[in-house]
A = this chain, B = another copy of it.
Amino acid sequence: MTLVNGVAIDAVAAADRGLAYGDGVFRTLRTQDGAPLWWDDHYAKLAVDAAALGLVCPEKNLLEAELQRVALPGDAVAKIILTRGVGARGYAPPAEVNLTRIVAASPLPGHAGATELRVRVCRLRLARQPRLAGIKHLNRLENVLARAEWSDPAIAEGLLADADGLLVCAVSANVFLLQGGELLTPELDHCGVAGVARARLLAAVPCRVARVSLAELARAEEIFLSNSVTGVRRVAELDSEDTLPRRVFPDTGWRARLAAALA
């Protein structure tokens, strides 16, 4: 089921600014019998991201009630989208905003249980835009283009670097590296989405937020991906078409440790 502004209808105005300009933000989260996992964190991040675009986030209780209305039984995925709604033609944000609020549920994807991934390094380089860095906004063409680089179903994810060759994230996940026994995760002040699972890991385990060049992947002892729906997964095999050699990573036990810390 999909709720648009609380109404069970799968339709948004064709002139919605979310469609016209990607003028909005979103959240994807895991639910258990309708109860959203890490809801406090997700709501806080949604509100911060909305504010970064000048949008006022709806009340927490309202969204929570709508998540329950769309709930699927067992483990599932929910998505919340907020857009600046319909406005006059042109880029200028309307003085009075009638937010569009979409709450929808979908089944947990079949691959969600996998914890050992084959991953590639994407050719696309993320543009550096400090004004939008960290925000989960609706301008996600870079993710689409990066994900379109491969169709082999054995490859689960792609690592992304920015125009300066700095590692940023994966297509749908944040990245952690083990290097010299130390856990690192890339700075997200120029691009990328700062996910809730990443924030929770940073609060739970010693980890250094650092500039990590793509080349340093060759020195990593292990690489992990974090995501609110799939938790902590590890890169078992890393393919790269360009500079980096193909690598296979044995399980050091860190994944289970990080997954436990996240839970």
Contacts and interface: CB of A to CB of B under 8 A. Distances in A.
Given A109-B89, A172-B90, A19 B12 contact: yes
A148 B10 contact: no
Interface in A98-148: 102, 104, 106, 109, 124, 126-129, 131-132, 137-148
Nearest to A162: B127
A189 interface: no
B129 A127 contact: yes
Interface in A181-222: 191
Interface stretch (A20-28, A232-240, A248-256): A20-28
A75 interface: no
A31 interface: no
Interface residues of A, number: 58
A81 B19 contact: yes
A19 B19 contact: yes
B141 A19 contact: no
A20 B131 contact: no
A81 B20 contact: yes
Contact of A141 (B53, B126, B145): B53
Contacts of A138: 19-22, 141
Quickly give the copy total for this chain.
2
Interface in A4-20: 4, 10-20
Given A90-B109, A91-B140, A148-B54, A10 B14 contact: yes
Nearest to A138: B22
A67 to B, nearest CB: 15
Nearest to A93: B148
A261 interface: no
A21 B143 contact: yes
Contact of A19 (B16, B89, B146, B148): B16
A92 interface: yes
Interface of A: 2, 4, 10-23, 26, 53-54, 77, 79, 81, 83-84, 89-93, 95, 102, 104, 106, 109, 124, 126-129, 131-132, 137-148, 151, 163, 171-172, 191
